[in-house]
Structure 1
Amino acid sequence: MTATGTIRYWAAARSAAGTDEDAYEAETLAQALDAARARHAERPEFARVLLRCAFLVDGSPVGTRDHATVKLVTGGTVEVLPPFAGG
Protein backbone atom coordinates (compact mmCIF):
# COMPACT_ATOMS: atom_id res chain seq x y z
CA MET A 1 0.00 0.00 0.00
CA THR A 2 1.28 3.46 -0.89
CA ALA A 3 2.17 5.67 2.06
CA THR A 4 2.16 9.46 2.22
CA GLY A 5 4.44 11.67 4.27
CA THR A 6 7.08 14.38 4.16
CA ILE A 7 10.63 14.58 2.83
CA ARG A 8 12.63 17.30 4.60
CA TYR A 9 15.76 18.69 2.99
CA TRP A 10 18.65 20.12 4.99
CA ALA A 11 21.56 22.41 4.07
CA ALA A 12 22.89 21.72 0.54
CA ALA A 13 19.94 19.42 -0.21
CA ARG A 14 17.52 22.25 0.60
CA SER A 15 19.47 24.61 -1.62
CA ALA A 16 19.62 22.11 -4.49
CA ALA A 17 15.89 21.29 -4.23
CA GLY A 18 14.89 24.93 -3.91
CA THR A 19 12.48 24.02 -1.11
CA ASP A 20 12.50 22.93 2.54
CA GLU A 21 10.31 19.90 1.98
CA ASP A 22 8.19 17.84 -0.39
CA ALA A 23 5.38 15.39 0.13
CA TYR A 24 5.95 11.75 -0.73
CA GLU A 25 3.56 9.12 -1.99
CA ALA A 26 5.56 5.89 -2.12
CA GLU A 27 6.00 2.46 -0.58
CA THR A 28 9.79 2.64 -0.19
CA LEU A 29 12.54 5.19 0.26
CA ALA A 30 13.83 4.36 -3.24
CA GLN A 31 10.44 5.20 -4.77
CA ALA A 32 10.18 8.43 -2.78
CA LEU A 33 13.66 9.54 -3.86
CA ASP A 34 12.99 8.62 -7.50
CA ALA A 35 9.84 10.76 -7.41
CA ALA A 36 11.76 13.63 -5.78
CA ARG A 37 14.45 13.45 -8.50
CA ALA A 38 11.74 13.58 -11.17
CA ARG A 39 9.98 16.47 -9.40
CA HIS A 40 13.22 18.47 -9.35
CA ALA A 41 14.56 17.34 -12.75
CA GLU A 42 15.08 20.96 -13.80
CA ARG A 43 17.62 21.26 -10.96
CA PRO A 44 20.41 18.77 -11.91
CA GLU A 45 22.45 19.59 -8.79
CA PHE A 46 19.65 18.05 -6.71
CA ALA A 47 20.28 14.53 -8.06
CA ARG A 48 24.03 14.96 -7.49
CA VAL A 49 23.52 16.10 -3.90
CA LEU A 50 21.26 13.12 -3.14
CA LEU A 51 24.11 10.77 -4.06
CA ARG A 52 26.13 12.12 -1.12
CA CYS A 53 23.33 12.32 1.46
CA ALA A 54 22.46 10.26 4.51
CA PHE A 55 18.82 9.56 5.26
CA LEU A 56 16.74 9.20 8.40
CA VAL A 57 13.34 7.56 8.10
CA ASP A 58 11.11 8.38 11.05
CA GLY A 59 14.20 9.19 13.09
CA SER A 60 16.11 5.98 12.29
CA PRO A 61 19.30 6.07 10.19
CA VAL A 62 19.06 4.20 6.89
CA GLY A 63 22.81 3.62 6.74
CA THR A 64 23.91 1.25 3.98
CA ARG A 65 20.55 -0.53 3.60
CA ASP A 66 19.19 -0.81 0.08
CA HIS A 67 16.69 2.05 -0.27
CA ALA A 68 14.28 -0.33 -2.02
CA THR A 69 13.99 -2.31 1.23
CA VAL A 70 13.26 0.69 3.46
CA LYS A 71 9.47 0.81 3.85
CA LEU A 72 7.68 4.11 4.39
CA VAL A 73 4.54 4.70 6.46
CA THR A 74 1.70 7.17 6.18
CA GLY A 75 2.50 10.24 8.24
CA GLY A 76 6.21 9.44 8.18
CA THR A 77 9.18 11.71 7.64
CA VAL A 78 12.32 11.27 5.57
CA GLU A 79 15.20 13.57 6.54
CA VAL A 80 17.76 14.23 3.76
CA LEU A 81 21.10 15.09 5.35
CA PRO A 82 24.02 16.12 3.15
CA PRO A 83 27.54 15.71 4.52
CA PHE A 84 28.72 18.70 6.48
CA ALA A 85 31.90 19.79 8.22
CA GLY A 86 32.29 21.25 11.64
CA GLY A 87 32.03 20.21 15.22
Structure 2
Amino acid sequence: MAAGTIRYWAAAKAAAGTAEEPYAAATLKEALDGVRERHPGELTRVLRRCSFLIDGDPVGTRDHETVRLAEGGTVEVLPPFAGG
Protein backbone atom coordinates (compact mmCIF):
# COMPACT_ATOMS: atom_id res chain seq x y z
CA MET A 1 0.00 0.00 0.00
CA ALA A 2 1.28 3.44 -0.93
CA ALA A 3 0.63 6.82 0.65
CA GLY A 4 0.31 10.01 -1.36
CA THR A 5 -1.93 12.97 -2.16
CA ILE A 6 -5.21 13.32 -4.05
CA ARG A 7 -5.70 16.81 -5.55
CA TYR A 8 -9.15 17.96 -6.53
CA TRP A 9 -9.84 20.58 -9.20
CA ALA A 10 -12.87 22.73 -10.06
CA ALA A 11 -16.20 20.96 -9.35
CA ALA A 12 -14.40 18.06 -7.63
CA LYS A 13 -12.71 20.50 -5.25
CA ALA A 14 -16.05 22.15 -4.45
CA ALA A 15 -17.76 18.80 -3.88
CA ALA A 16 -14.93 17.47 -1.69
CA GLY A 17 -14.76 20.67 0.33
CA THR A 18 -10.97 20.56 0.15
CA ALA A 19 -8.22 21.05 -2.43
CA GLU A 20 -6.34 17.91 -1.44
CA GLU A 21 -6.20 15.03 0.99
CA PRO A 22 -3.98 12.00 1.60
CA TYR A 23 -4.53 8.53 0.19
CA ALA A 24 -3.35 5.14 1.42
CA ALA A 25 -4.00 2.68 -1.41
CA ALA A 26 -2.24 0.38 -3.83
CA THR A 27 -4.40 1.19 -6.87
CA LEU A 28 -6.45 4.07 -8.22
CA LYS A 29 -9.60 2.02 -7.62
CA GLU A 30 -8.75 1.63 -3.93
CA ALA A 31 -7.98 5.33 -3.59
CA LEU A 32 -11.27 6.31 -5.26
CA ASP A 33 -13.21 3.82 -3.14
CA GLY A 34 -11.80 5.60 -0.10
CA VAL A 35 -12.81 8.98 -1.52
CA ARG A 36 -16.36 7.74 -2.08
CA GLU A 37 -16.54 6.50 1.52
CA ARG A 38 -15.27 9.80 2.95
CA HIS A 39 -17.36 12.01 0.64
CA PRO A 40 -20.67 10.34 -0.22
CA GLY A 41 -23.06 12.43 -2.26
CA GLU A 42 -22.04 15.12 -4.74
CA LEU A 43 -18.36 14.14 -5.06
CA THR A 44 -19.36 10.57 -5.92
CA ARG A 45 -21.49 11.96 -8.77
CA VAL A 46 -18.71 14.29 -9.94
CA LEU A 47 -16.15 11.44 -10.01
CA ARG A 48 -18.19 9.63 -12.68
CA ARG A 49 -17.33 12.43 -15.13
CA CYS A 50 -13.71 13.00 -14.12
CA SER A 51 -10.44 12.15 -15.75
CA PHE A 52 -7.38 11.34 -13.67
CA LEU A 53 -3.65 11.98 -13.79
CA ILE A 54 -1.27 9.79 -11.82
CA ASP A 55 2.01 11.58 -11.19
CA GLY A 56 1.32 13.68 -14.29
CA ASP A 57 0.38 10.78 -16.59
CA PRO A 58 -3.20 10.44 -17.89
CA VAL A 59 -5.08 7.30 -16.85
CA GLY A 60 -7.28 7.40 -19.95
CA THR A 61 -9.47 4.34 -20.39
CA ARG A 62 -7.32 2.00 -18.30
CA ASP A 63 -9.18 -0.03 -15.66
CA HIS A 64 -8.64 1.78 -12.35
CA GLU A 65 -7.93 -1.55 -10.68
CA THR A 66 -4.79 -1.93 -12.84
CA VAL A 67 -3.41 1.57 -12.18
CA ARG A 68 -0.78 1.22 -9.45
CA LEU A 69 -0.05 4.14 -7.12
CA ALA A 70 3.44 5.05 -5.98
CA GLU A 71 4.63 6.01 -2.52
CA GLY A 72 4.57 9.81 -2.35
CA GLY A 73 2.56 10.01 -5.58
CA THR A 74 -0.17 12.38 -6.66
CA VAL A 75 -3.62 11.64 -8.07
CA GLU A 76 -5.15 14.64 -9.87
CA VAL A 77 -8.95 14.58 -10.13
CA LEU A 78 -10.04 16.61 -13.18
CA PRO A 79 -13.72 17.19 -13.89
CA PRO A 80 -14.67 18.31 -17.40
CA PHE A 81 -14.59 22.06 -17.81
CA ALA A 82 -15.14 24.58 -20.60
CA GLY A 83 -12.42 26.71 -22.09
CA GLY A 84 -8.84 26.03 -22.86
- Tell me the distance in 2 between the aligned counterparts of 1:20 and 1:37: 16
- Normalised by the length of structure 2, the TM-score is 0.98
| Distance of 1:74 and 1:25 partners within structure 2 | 9
Partner of 1:37: 36
Counterparts of 1:8-47 in structure 2, within 5 Å, are 8-41=7-40, 44-47=41-44
Q: Structure 1: which 5+ residue stretches go unaligned?
A: none
Distance 1:63 1:23 in 2: 22
- Moved >6 Å (runs of 4+): none
**Cα deviation 1:54-76 (Å, max 9, x = unaligned):** 00000000000000000001100
State the number of aligned residues: 84
TM-score, normalising length: structure 1 = 0.95
